[in-house]
Amino acid sequence: MEKKKERIDDSVLFHCADLILPWLEPSDLAAISLTCKSLNLISHSISASRSSDAARSFETHPIPFINTVDNHPYAYFIYTTTQVISIDSHQARQSWGGHRPSLEQANSSLCSDAPGCDCDSCDERMDCPCRESISPDLIRECGPSCGCNRNECGNRLTQTGVSVLLKIVKQIRKGWSLHSRQFIHKGQFVCEYAGELLTTKEARRRQENYDELASKSQFSAALLVIREHLPSGKACMRINIDATRIGNVGRFINHSCDGGNLSTVIVRCSGALLPRLCFFASRDIQEDEELSFSYGETRIRSNGLSCFCGSSCCSGTLPSENT
């Protein structure tokens, strides 16, 4: 009778743990793992699951963490496949390591009532108004207001998520970095830079906080400022995307002073209020090669972070600005 009761108790424990533990952050998960053998086994299983796929099954292929440097098997953050409106990231939670997670994303307010195309097949209709090519670093795609099928339209190249094989590798000096797991052709879409959309006021407040944290530890922020320019060269729109706490694999792409192997392209979708920043291969990329791009012009700051890109033209300091 006692053995049967123990089996029932273990069953209840495993069921409850499977529901609760995937929601915990690494420090809490580590603390729980020390309480008993059963929870230790479950915690290790969750850590292994997290290490196997940073994208939490949201992308087409798993994106594993590879770390031979220290005993931190993965980097913890909340995953989103595209832009999200700024939320209280300290209150946000996402299950990771159990069942497929979800993150409520209030993106409906990022759409407008502007009409899109009424094409049945944009691939066959080459005069589709959404196909207009504005410049090499600014393209247009069909969007939420278009009548074409999202999964079949060939003019939604950047909207189906990450389709190339990638991995996140820990390096001694750079920390986590994004690498290819396959040959990537020049011009091929790699991923977008996803994260929280911030007001400029909030971006500046967060950057001050990030700078303070970086001065005290090895903290690394992922706040990117994008300026969309008019043909005259004057900035017409500023977009602040913070992937520090909520983001996708784009947050792991490091800077390279020589421009790297990725080009940044602003993508506008019909019916969407704001553009998205996407990465395309600027040249053929070999399997296992690190992915990188230029963060911008280097501005010397007294508290600027060191650059370890290793290129022949490395300035020694990461690009930064007074956000």
- Beta-carbon contacts of 8 under 8 Å, excluding residues fewer than 6 positions away, are none
Question: Beta strand pairing status for 138-141 and 262-269?
Answer: parallel
Give CA–CA dist 260/39, Å, rounded.
44
The mean pLDDT of the chain is 84
pLDDT tens sequence across 209-226: 988 888 787 778 899 988
Task: Give yes or no for a contact between 294 and 259, defined as CB atoms under 8 angstroms apart.
Answer: yes
Q: What is the mean pLDDT of residues 279-298?
A: 92
Alpha-carbon distance values, 185 to 17, 21, 189, 190, 284 (Å) = 44, 40, 9, 10, 5
Longest Cα–Cα distance of the chain, Å, equals 82
4-13, 171-180, 181-190: which has the minimum mean pLDDT? 4-13
pLDDT on residue 100: 57
More confident of the two residues 222 and 6: 222
Distance of CA 301 to the CA centre of its chain: 27
pLDDT on residue 102: 54
8-17, 180-189, 276-285: which has the minimum mean pLDDT? 8-17
Question: Residues in the chain, how many?
Answer: 323
Label residues 230-259 b or e (16+ Cβ within 10 Å = b): eeeeeeeeebbbbbbbbbbbbbbbbbbbee
98 confidence band (pLDDT: 50, 70, 90) = confident
pLDDT on residue 117: 85
Closest among 293, 49, 288 to 165, alpha carbons compared: 288
| Helices 37-52 + 26-33 axis angle, to 10 | 150
Distance of CA 160 to the CA centre of its chain: 14
Give CA–CA dist 294/312, Å, rounded.
14
pLDDT on residue 301: 56
Task: Give yes or no for a contact between 316 and 301, defined as CB atoms under 8 angstroms apart.
Answer: no
pLDDT tens sequence across 60-93: 999 999 999 999 999 999 999 999 987 765 667 8
Share of the chain above pLDDT 90, in %: 45
**Residue 253 pLDDT greater than 60, yes or no:** yes
